[in-house]
Structure 1
Amino acid sequence: MRFTPSDEQRDFAAVLDTLLDGSDALVAARAWAAGDTAPGLKLWSRLAEQGVSALVVPERAGGLGATPVELALAFEVLGRHAVPGPWVETAAYLPHALADPGPLTDGAVRTVAVPPHTPYALDADVAEHVFLVSTGSTDGAGAIRAATAGNPHRSVDGTRRLFEVVSTGSTTETEHPEPGDLGRAFDLAALATAAQLLGCGERLLADSVAYVKQRRQFGREIGSYQAIKHRLADVRIALDFARPLLWGAALSAAGSVDRARDVSAAKVSCADAAYLASRAALQVHGAVGYTAELDLSLWITKVRALVGAWGTPAFHRARVLDSLVSAGSTNEVR
């Protein structure tokens, strides 16, 4: 499949990229990890004003009614800039998990726990609304309930503050919203996570290329050595091979019967490519690459955390395999 974003879609991504370039996103990410959420919430408000939080909320509910393609474009930009906050939960999962997504257009911070694949709610301590999906099913079944933040848990990524959540037990309709399509919601969350991983991988590669062009060893730039060229070329190839799977999954997520398979394939491919980019970045940067003070660490730790977010590689590989085996069995019967 050949897919190229339209001019309007490219412009949308460019607007977000420009906004984040001038918003000190890295400062917000470091402050968020240190417990100071004010810069991150300010950035959240600016992105919400651009419609990111209501991107895939239907127009009938007051949202932008965008497609999963625009969602993937937006989250690739968020990953490239290491933007903190429960964006996947608010902008990708909940618009389809809630039968009435209208309230999502207010730009508020929301988060959700979806056991067993997402057992903890991201940034539940700063979210204005916290939810718990009781079954964790990815096939569309289950119930969604309002919840409150419980015990915190540490993530390898300091900007990802994880919390246990407890259902409020309220019996009001507001506290127990009707569930929407939880299966599609899960797949959109996995798609958005894959796009974030691709964005992280692209940033890691760009920073690595810039570094090897200015770092000198034995009288020449280390980027002139074949071994380093080959290492970074492998990353470029991996990212370029992952991108078509991401776009294919974004198109499939609009309503294809192969949605789950395609999303899982994209998640696995983008995770593998981003992880390869993080390993290569560490290697070409040398000892300085292991320091938390270097901005590189923000993307390296984020990649490590996102690889297992919204479904582990093993889970997504199994979904791809099950789909292929099922398709093969159907063809044999025919």
Structure 2
Amino acid sequence: MKFQLSPEQRQFSASLHDFLAGAETAAVARAWAAGEHDRGLKLWRGLAELGVPALLADPGLDASLVDVVVACEALGYHAVPGPVIETIAVAPSLLTDRLSSLAAGDLLVTVVAPPEVPLALDADVAGVVLDLTGAELTEASSSPVPSIDPARRLFQVAASASAPSRAFDQGVLAVAAQLLGAGQWLLDASVAYAKQRSQYGREIGSYQAIKHLLADVATQLELARPLLYGAAVADSTFTRDVSAAKVMAGDAAYLAARTAMQVHGAIGYTAEHDLGLRLTKVRALAGAWGTGSFHRARVLR
């Protein structure tokens, strides 16, 4: 099957990247990690003006899961914090009302679905906490559970185990898109740094070993991309395909993170460098909405 994004989808992607590139998302993510949500909520309202939360919430847009993947890939690339997956990809399938508030950007939603999603992301700022049946949950802990990604503020919520559903699979698809976007940022940043950093009188990007490392990352990301978009248009094989996409995108993003650390060297360990925002996010998202083992088992079944 030959698949290409439509001109409208390409323009949508370009608009998102242009908006987020000027939004200082790194500073927004650091403030969000500190519990300061004002800048993040302002960013979310800007995304609402571009139609991001309305993609599945507003039937008048006639948007598809491909559009959701386009949006989540851009959000992952720019490390946008908050319950974006839950609000954009999952909540529209669970909510029976307030869809207009969600589409307008006035409502953030988070979801808990144990055992694969045992904690509610940003329950302190979300207006609604749901389980996979669409039931609203209220008994959330007052303090966040520590996460490897400081911008992912996780809260314990009393909820019963939920069987995976279409809404769950849409969340998996959105996580895979975020991982692919983060991996692409890591590759782009590594290539740019390899052209700037010199060692023994030469740019490190001119060394064959560095070229091979970066080429391996580019290859893995490009192999994951068709699985991701193929899953977005799948029908009867949707569950299998989203799990395959999650595994491939997670592995590719993890390789991009490891390679980025090798290329950047010691500067990559500093808290001030934006590399750290993606390293911790990739590590956290790799296990979010089902671990690699869980999704490999689903593909096998």
* TM-score (norm: length of structure 2): 0.94
The one of 93, 96, 100 equivalent to 1:96 is: 93
Partners of 1:144 and 1:234 in 2: CA distance: 44
SS in 1 for 2:144: strand
- CA deviation after TM superposition for structure 1 residue 203, in Å: 0.2
The amino acid across from 1:119 in the alignment is P
RMSD of Structure 2 on Structure 1 (CA): 1.7
1:123-171 per-residue CA deviation (whole Å, 9 max, x = no partner) reads 11111222234xxxxxxxx46233243142011011100001247xxxx
In the alignment, is the contact (CA less than 8 A) between 1:54 and 1:105 conserved in 2? yes
Residues 206-245 of structure 1: CA deviation (Å, up to 9, x unaligned):
0000001010000000111111100000000000100000
Query: What one-letter code is carried by the residue in structure 1 that aligns with 2:226?
Result: P
Distance 2:188 2:157 in 1: 38
Is the aligned partner of 1:26 residue 2:26? Answer: yes
Aligned to 2:269: 290
- Larger mean CA deviation between 144-153 and 311-320 belongs to 144-153
Letter in 2 for 1:195: A
Larger Rg: 1
Which residue number in structure 1 is paired with residue 135 of structure 2? 144
Counterpart AA for 2:120: A
Residues in 2 aligned to 1:64 and 1:51: alpha-carbon distance in whole angstroms: 9
Secondary structure at the counterpart of residue 152 of structure 1:
coil
| Conservation of the 8 A alpha-carbon contact between 1:97 and 1:182 | no
The one-letter code of the counterpart of 2:77 is R
In structure 2, the residue matched to 1:331 is none
Matched, 1:215 2:197: yes
* 2:77–2:178 Cα contact (<8 Å) kept: yes
Verify the 8 A CA contact 2:137 2:157 in the aligned structure 1: no
Compute the displacement of 1:2 (Å).
Answer: 2.8
Residue in 1 that maps onto 2:52: 52
The alignment-based identity, stated in percent, is 57
- Give, in whole Å, the separation in 1 of the partners of 2:176 and 2:245: 6
Is residue 43 of structure 1 aligned with residue 43 of structure 2?
yes
From 80, 84, 94, the equivalent of 2:77 is: 80
Change (3 A) 1:143 1:51: closer
Match of 2:155 in 1: 163
For residues 17 and 208 of structure 2, what CA distance do their matches in structure 1 show?
32
Per-residue deviation, residues 18-55 of structure 1 (Å, max 9, x unmatched): 11111111110111112211111110111112221121
- Counterpart CA distance in 1 for 2:175 and 2:138 is 23
Q: TM-score if structure 1 supplies the norm length?
A: 0.85
* Aligned residue identity for 2:22: G
Q: Distance in 2 between matches of 1:229 and 1:302?
A: 25
User: 3-state SS of the aligned residue for 1:206?
Assistant: helix
Letter in 1 for 2:99: G
Q: Provide runs of 4+ in structure 1 moved above 3 Å.
A: none
Contact preservation (8 Å) 1:120, 1:162: yes
Change (3 A) 1:143 1:66: closer
Q: Which moved more, 1:220-229 or 1:285-294?
A: 285-294
CA distance in 2, matches of 1:281, 1:94: 34
What does 1:184-333 correspond to in 2, within 5 Å?
184-252=166-234, 256-322=235-301
The number of residue pairs the alignment matches comes to: 296
TM superposition shift of 1:101: 6.1
- Residue 105 (structure 1) aligns with: 103
Report if aligned partners of 2:149, 2:281 keep a CA contact under 8 Å in 1.
yes
Alignment of 1:52-71 (within 5 A): 52-59=52-59, 64-71=61-68
Give, as a single letter, the amino acid of the residue that structure 2 aligns with 1:196: Q
Q: Is the contact made by 2:58 and 2:103 (CA closer than 8 Å) also made in structure 1?
A: no
Contiguous gaps of at least 5 residues in structure 2: none
